[in-house]
Each structure stands twice: as C-alpha cells, then as structure tokens.
Amino acid sequence: MTAQRPAVGDRRVLVPDAPAAGGAAAARTEDGVVFVDGALPGETVEVELTQVKKRFARARVTSVVTPSEHRVPDRLAACGAAGVGGVEFASVDLAYSRRLKAEAARQQLERIGGIEWDLRVSSLPREADGGSGMDWRTRVQLAVGPDGQPGLRAGGSHRVVPVSRIPLAVDELNDLGLHRQTLPGLSRLELVASAGGGAIIAVGQPKEAVLGKLREIAAAQPGAWSVLLRTEGKRNRGRPAPPQVLAGTGRVREEVRGQRFGLDADGFWQVHVDAADVLSAKVLEFAGRPQSALDLYCGAGLFSVFLAKAGAKVTGLEGSQAAIQSARANAEGLPAKFEVGRIETLGMLPPADTVVLDPPRAGAGEDVVNMIGASAAGRVVYVSCDAGTFARDARGLLDCGFELAHLQGWDAFPLTKHTEFTAVFTR
C-alpha cells in the first residue's frame, strides 16, 4: 500500500486495462480500482481524482500521454460543445465503442446476475448504413442559462454550455435553430421530431414575446409542429401539471412499418430514429405466436399493436393515463385492452401465455419479477435500457424457473454510455 491514502485532487499517471460501466475505463492500482472517465483501455493517461472511496476511486483525464489506436478527434468540438455531458464516447471510434459497451455489459451480467453470455452489441440501421453516430436523437432537452441562452450542461456540472450544433440530434431539431436564440424566462426546452412534424416544449415562465418567437419558429417548419408551455412548480394531484398547448395539437405522430401511432408530445417514445422499428420487430420475433400476451409498461402501445396484429389477445398495463389513452386509440379495432395501474402494486398479473416488458431504466424490480414468476406465462420478452438492472431482474427470472434463451445488445444510444437489450426467457 502507498504511505498516504489518495485524496480528491491528486494527480496520477495510469494505464487502464478494461472497460467499465458508465463509459469509464478501469485501472488497477495499489489503492484499489480507479474508474477513469474519458480514458480507453491500454492508454497512458494523466488523471485527477474526483472521488475517493474505501475500495475504489474515480478520476477524469487531464491529458492523454499515449493514445489508443481507437481514439479519434473529439466530435463535440465540431459542434462547439466540447466538455458537455452525455456523450461519453465522443472521442472513440464508433465500432470500437460498441465493443466497449458489450464488454462492460458482460461484466455486469456476470457480477450482478451470475450470467455468462457472449454478448454482442449491434448497430441500428442509421449507423449500419454509414451514419456518424451524431444524428440519431429524435428527443432532446436543452438547458437555458440565466442569460436566456440555450445549451447543454457541462459534464458533472449545472453550467450551461452554448453550442453551435446540438450533438446527437437529428437534422430536424438542429434546423429549428433554437440553440442560437435568446429565450429569457425559460429554464429548459424539450424538442421532439416525429413523422411529419414535431413539438417544442418550453419550460419556465417566459414573457409573451418569447412564446411568440417559438410559435413563429414552429410555423416556419415543414409539417405539423406544436408549441407547449410547462410552468415550473405547477402541479396536479402531486404530479407536474400537463403542459399548456399554445400552437398545434400538442400531439405527435410516429410511423413504424406502415403503422401509425399518435401520442402526446411529452409522452414516451424510443429516442433513436430507428429504435421503434427494430425493437418492435424483435419483440414480435421473440414472442412467437402467443394466443395471449401481457404488455407491461406498454406506453402508447407500440409492442401491443404489433402483437395484436399478429393475432394475440393483448392486455397492456401502464402507469400513465395519457399513455393509455393513446394506446387505446392506436390499437382501435384490434384485440387489445389497456388499463392504468402501478404494476408493482398489482399483487397478481392478468393471465397470459407471454409477458412483454419494457420498464424504465430502474428496471422491473423484485415485486414485478416475482409476479411474473408466479404467473402461468411460459415466455418472457424483456426490453431493457440498463445492463445493471436487467442483470438483476434476469437473475430473479432465472430463480423463478425461467431459462435465458436469447440476449442481444443494440447500440440504440450511439456514442453514449447506454445500451438497449432484448432478451427472451422460457420455461
């Protein structure tokens, strides 16, 4: 052991040797593991410790002494966005970033779930066809600084960094030009691009002149665009009040393999431009041809609709009343019914041959996993956006008598630390 314990602010030269969860790289030292943000395995880097715990520490790269062959020029710099958070692999070759994600996920599967799996992470069509990984997000949030300038948060900070281009966003959102406006009174902008239009959701207490500018920008775009205002602090029965529609319908339209879906502008939808298509097709493949299916966390009914079109009698459950209303409209005429409810509090699940679930990043959790285990379902199709919580829930399903039949990773969040997973369990 070293004579003196490491402390925040200490500087060291390290050589990480493995990827880790969260987009970091792990370096083994006499004092324990150091997780280094901004480093790649095999590089020699100078770092500054940012957090010190008993068994591990975290650090950030201050300079790269010997770069990896997989390091590329910082993509954020080209957007005038150097230093912003949420693009952990901005300086990493895109194909290599998928290898790092796969290895980090394999470690979590084994450590948390006791599962050994030769996991692969595949690109979605936009990137498979030569995309850069910088133009896939159809939903973006911009912070707005005290001066009214929109931008993105600096990594690990609340500071708003103005940008010349919104990194990762599809062209339709950059074409709005809102990141170049001055919008006093706002704290945040939520931008949505959809099939044939989109939405601008303003958050804060702006004056009419700012709202008028947003209406003008929306009206100038091709297609149908809405403008909505969410007033900070305004709540309805303990929940944030729904935004006020200032222009347009307040709804967006999505299209997946010829099927149209409508939902509220602030409702959940897959953020990658290709994710809804790929994931719904994979869910349909994994589900087989069940006579009945239960769709947990069904949202606006993406999976339910395609399962019902394939002949299954579908029951969809979701905690959001607005999402359930959209799901009912989207599945009109199909053998599907939808109910609002907190899934973890049900106690018992409705009967079904197959259970499909796409929970939030926190995963399904023990109560839901145990309900699935206690049901008569012989097949579970699990869609997840977090390796750690998926590994935990997968372990629970295995303990309930299921076997993991297939697991696939998808790079549905290119150049970020996140990965999507589709899995099927059978018994």
Instruction: Output the CA angle 165-167-169, nearest 5 degrees.
Output: 95
Q: Tell me how far apart the terminal alpha carbons of the chain are, to the nearest angstrom.
A: 49
358 to 45, 149, 151, 362, 382: CA distances (angstroms): 39, 36, 30, 11, 6
Measured CA to CA, the distance from residue 58 to residue 289 in angstroms comes to 48
**Residue from 79, 298, 385, 400 carrying the catalytic annotation:** 385
Q: Which residues contact 240 (CB under 8 A, 6 or more apart)?
A: 230, 234
Query: Is 400 in the active site?
Result: no
Burial 146-171 (b: 16+ CB within 10 A, else e): eeebbbbbbbeeeebbebebbbbbbe
376 to 188, 299, 354: CA distances (angstroms): 46, 24, 9
**316 in Cβ contact with 339 (< 8 Å):** yes
Q: How many CB atoms lie within 10 A of CB 58?
A: 18
Measured CA to CA, the distance from residue 344 to residue 366 in angstroms comes to 9
Measured CA to CA, the distance from residue 381 to residue 56 in angstroms comes to 35
DSSP state of 80: T
**265 in Cβ contact with 201 (< 8 Å):** yes
Residue 97 phi, psi (nearest 5): -60, -35
Q: What does R_g of the chain's alpha carbons equal in angstroms?
A: 23
Catalytic residues: 385
